Chain A
Amino acid sequence: MRATAPRVAVAVGVAAFALAPLFLGSFTVSLLNDIGIAALVALGLVLLTGVGGATSFGQAAFVGIGAYATAWLTTAHGLSPWLGLLFALLLSGASALVIGAVTLRLGGHFLPLSTIAWGLSIAIVFGNLESLGRHSGIPNVPALSLGPWSLADPRAVYYVIWIATGAACWFARNLLDSRPGRAMRSLRGGSTLLASVGADAVRVRLVLFVVAALLAGLAGWLYAHKNRFVSPSPFDVRASIEYLLMAVAGGLGQLGGAVVGAAVVLLLKNELQDLLPLLSQRAAQIEAVAFAVLFIGLLHFARAGVMGYAVRWWRARRARAPSAAGAASAASDGVVADAPPLPRRALPARGTRLLEVEGATRRFGGLVAVNDVSFAVDAGEIVGLIGPNGAGKSTMFNLLTCTLPLTAGRVRFLGDDITGRRQRDVARRGLARTFQHVKLRPQMSLLDNVALGTYARTGAGVLRAGLRLDRAEERRVRAEAWRQLERIGLAARAHEAAGSLPLGTQRTLEIARALAADPVLLVLDEPAAGLRRLEKEALGELLKRLRDEGVTILIVEHDMDFVMKLVDRLVVMNFGQKLVEGSPAQVRSDARVQDAYLGAAA
């Protein structure tokens, strides 16, 4: 059994943590408490930065909001610290929601820059509010208590801290291995992919941001009741950088990196604080310099962090052991082939009008890429969109999937006007697409990439996923993804990283992802490019089989041979306009088409 070894390791680890305070001195226990609290914050950063690709230089501000919230409630109003926990989470979550809603739309570097600004602002506000004790802070914060037992002793609060940290790690692990988690892991590398499966990238990122802030708020609550005192300085930008340093040192790629990083940084800090006063009288200054040098060195030479190297070493070892490797089968890693299938859409009757493009026009400045093009697609047929290079096919494609807005004209899908709708709404109505420039997540497995396609058909949220209440649905998702992989003949490689496939095969994988969305209309952008002859034939067979099952297909393709054998009808574009529409035989014999492709006879 492969799963045994990690389970034993986890059990030993939990036991060691449970017994540790009985054997360790109180100084070491305090240090472990600090590590646990910092690990919570770093965990949020691993999720936000490592998984979501967004960086926050203001995470310490959320710790501060949590700490001040509970300190104020328990001292000024004398309420229970447990109410303080609710208040801390509420405030840190709500402020993250507001800040995130404003800043998370920003591209690339604007977001982290803005985090510096609000991170500083929040710390300044703490230091200047009379009710929060200005720069001297709030003293005499009560200790936690559980009924009659006080948890003032570091050994007692140790258990609260590490249970919270352990639970947060468990929650985060569950979350990543779920429907919302797949979307979060797909955030890096652009939002078009998420929109094409019906997800809203800004919302997914916002949820991730709030989760990270809640973890920080929880850490702040623990901090306030452990130290019994809050003041502004531990929540400034410098502290935020230190949390980021922990996450990077531990490894942004693994959840465990948060705990490892917090331990490494705090132990090192502790050592430095012992060591430096022996060397110099300006120990505090040298410590700050040493940490900055360490951080820069880390980003230069060891960006993967401790856990990154540990995982690499572990994989290399496993790859050497011959028995562990082997072709994936449905039973391995929890794919249950006989899980009840996900609910399917009712497909419209053959011959119903599905898609109707009327006078579509798109201008880019002075260039008219698509000029007054009209055509229709009926249920149950395969329609090809062809034309020479630069004819406007890909733009047309982006217009009818609502990836680009129309300058003029209308698009109707399933009888509704979808002009000006968002791409994700159109995707949710049953229009699934693939991309000319493949958009897969190369680090994720084939199975996860395909499972992403089911996003709009399923409903598990963050809470259900984190608490592992989504398993029934998740089994159905994985079974569906597995079926689609079998359909395109890639089931044997289900657990490999998608980036390891050749480009042509990656295109086929995109078709499986589109099929996992249970589409009414499948829109394919050059699916045969980069495939060998036999693979092309297999793809053609697959598309014909899909048509027989009632799926309608619109295909843009350069390979004439492939298209002519496959489609029922063709739309030919040239210079942004529709040239001809008709059956393959009609199109082939049309003089205008021959002119467009071969040049007019002089």
Chain B
Amino acid sequence: MTWDIAAILAMDGLANGAVYLLAGLGLVLVFSVTRVVFVPFGDVAAFSALSLAAFEAGRTPPTIGLVATLAVLAVIVEVASLVRRGEARRIARAAALWGALPLVPCALAWLAARPGVPAPLHVASAVLLVVPIAPLLARVVFQPIADASVLVLLIVALALHFLLSGLGLLFFGPEGSRTAPLASGTLELGGGYTVSGQVLLMVLSALVLSALFFLVFERTIAGKALRATAVNRVGARLVGIRPARTALLAYGSASLLGGLIGVLIAPVTTMYYDSGFIIGLKAFVAAIIGGLVSYPGTAIGALAVGLVESFASFWSGAMKDAIVFSLLIPVLLLRSYAWPPAEAAEEEIDT
């Protein structure tokens, strides 16, 4: 390997790392607030990428159907729970919140699919279109079992991924798509090295979004409510924070991050209906390096995973995923010896 190649690989790794950083932030956010390891995160990213591809091909994205289906399910679940609690008078509000609100981005997307709409609007509506997905899934699938053990929630999340990728195949079909670059041109660095605009955009977006993330967490009431819920759910409830609402906020932000990842990655990687899983898993590796709770740790992890992946793909393209996942083993070893797990709480499937 020469220095030139190493530099190119490092640049690729940086771009990958930027994506895993964003995904890792979303995963850590959802996990710390809801204790759900949100495996379907990557699917949301894949859906936004495929929606953008549909816009570019001049088709109405099938994601609209998916979101509408989920909204119908969420309204059913919400109405059922209201009726069971004898609060039938709140049904109209619930229908508006769970049924009508998610349809707004659907309507926008439908309009954006008309001919003559400029490309930036396509990108924006592809991202907005997937934002309702995670909150709707959370309402239908996770909120009814919010008090189950982490293990049950994890199994449900994994099953949910298989559900979504099955739906993805039904809605989008097996073909892969790649979208037009969001940023064209290249940047000349000294000494003959160049960086493509897309890579620069990915790294910049990751930096800006993580800074934004940090500001929201540190400076706003909503961010503080998220942090409080992450530290202690019961305590948060005692000071008037509603965990279910904070959870929705976390899922919504994660969905937004997922959507952004999708449109950022689609120009450099061919996306299939099930591509999200591997992206999500690599973000997990990054998040686990940060212990699933630390944001700076996740950032370091994301960078490490991106670099390892890009160098591994140089030696063996087919084995690169195996190499990245094997990276977990030394990390876990280090973690378990450096920070031995505290006395495990009751972790079980109640039988």
A interface residues (Cβ-Cβ under 8 A, vs B) = 49-50, 53, 55, 57, 102-103, 105-110, 112-114, 116-118, 120-121, 124-125, 127-128, 188-192, 238, 241, 244-245, 248, 251-253, 282, 285-286, 288-289, 291-293, 295-296, 299-300, 303-305, 308
Binds A, one of B123-131, B240-248, B250-258, B341-349: B341-349
**Additional A-B contacts beyond A125-B322, A282-B170 (13; CB < 8 A):** A102-B332, A114-B329, A117-B285, A120-B281, A128-B322, A189-B344, A241-B158, A248-B349, A286-B166, A292-B163, A292-B166, A299-B155, A303-B349
State the Cβ distance, B201 to closest chain A Cβ, in Å: 30
Interface contact A188-B348, CB-CB below 8 Å:
yes
Nearest B residue (CB) for A49: B349
Residues of A contacting B328 with CB < 8 Å?
114, 117-118
Interface contact A105-B340, CB-CB below 8 Å:
yes
State the Cβ distance, A298 to closest chain B Cβ, in Å: 9
Of A50, A238, A293, which contacts B351 at CB under 8 A? A50
Does chain A have a CB within 8 A of B37? yes
1/0 per residue B285-306: CB within 8 Å of A?
1001000100000000000000
Residues of B contacting A244 with CB < 8 Å?
155
Does chain A have a CB within 8 A of B78? no
Nearest B residue (CB) for A257: B351
Inter-chain residue pair count (beta carbon < 8 A):
157
Distance, CA A219 to CA B264, complexed state (A): 44
Asked, given contacts A105-B340, A191-B343, A308-B351, whether A291 binds B319 with beta carbons under 8 Å apart, the answer is no
Distance, CA A189 to CA B167, complexed state (A): 38
Interface contact A295-B154, CB-CB below 8 Å:
no
Binds A, one of B10-18, B44-52, B145-153, B218-226: B145-153
Interface contact B155-A188, CB-CB below 8 Å:
no
Asked, given contacts A55-B155, A106-B332, A116-B281, whether A188 binds B346 with beta carbons under 8 Å apart, the answer is yes
Judged by DSSP, the binding face of A is helix
Interface contact B166-A289, CB-CB below 8 Å:
yes
Interface contact A299-B152, CB-CB below 8 Å:
yes
Of A114, A238, A245, which contacts B332 at CB under 8 A? A114
Asked, given contacts A120-B281, A124-B321, whether A292 binds B288 with beta carbons under 8 Å apart, the answer is no
Residues of B contacting A57 with CB < 8 Å?
158
Distance, CA A267 to CA B134, complexed state (A): 33
Does chain A have a CB within 8 A of B193? no
Nearest 6 CB-CB pairings of A with B: A107-B341, A253-B351, A292-B163, A289-B166, A288-B166, A117-B325
Identify which of residues 6-30 in chain B touch chain A, using a CB-to-CB cut-off of 8 Å: none
Does chain A have a CB within 8 A of B156? yes
Of A112, A189, A253, A285, which contacts B151 at CB under 8 A? A112
Does chain A have a CB within 8 A of B284? yes
Residues of B contacting A304 with CB < 8 Å?
350-351
Residues of B contacting A125 with CB < 8 Å?
319, 322
Interface contact B169-A113, CB-CB below 8 Å:
no
Does chain A have a CB within 8 A of B311? no
Nearest A residue (CB) for B350: A303
Distance, CA A125 to CA B321, complexed state (A): 10
Nearest A residue (CB) for B330: A102
Interface contact A299-B159, CB-CB below 8 Å:
yes
Interface contact A292-B319, CB-CB below 8 Å:
no
Nearest A residue (CB) for B169: A285
Asked, given contacts A124-B322, A128-B318, A292-B159, whether A105 binds B336 with beta carbons under 8 Å apart, the answer is yes
State the Cβ distance, B177 to closest chain A Cβ, in Å: 18
Residues of B contacting A127 with CB < 8 Å?
318
State the Cβ distance, A301 to closest chain B Cβ, in Å: 9
Asked, given contacts A49-B349, A303-B152, whether A128 binds B319 with beta carbons under 8 Å apart, the answer is yes
Distance, CA A103 to CA B339, complexed state (A): 14
Interface contact B170-A188, CB-CB below 8 Å:
no
Asked, given contacts A55-B151, A105-B341, whether A118 binds B325 with beta carbons under 8 Å apart, the answer is yes
State the Cβ distance, B73 to closest chain A Cβ, in Å: 11
Interface contact B346-A303, CB-CB below 8 Å:
no
Residues of A contacting B329 with CB < 8 Å?
102-103, 114, 118
Residues of A contacting B178 with CB < 8 Å?
none
State the Cβ distance, A359 to closest chain B Cβ, in Å: 26
Does chain A have a CB within 8 A of B103? no
Residues of A contacting B333 with CB < 8 Å?
102
Interface contact A285-B321, CB-CB below 8 Å:
no
Interface contact B322-A121, CB-CB below 8 Å:
yes
Distance, CA A57 to CA B351, complexed state (A): 19
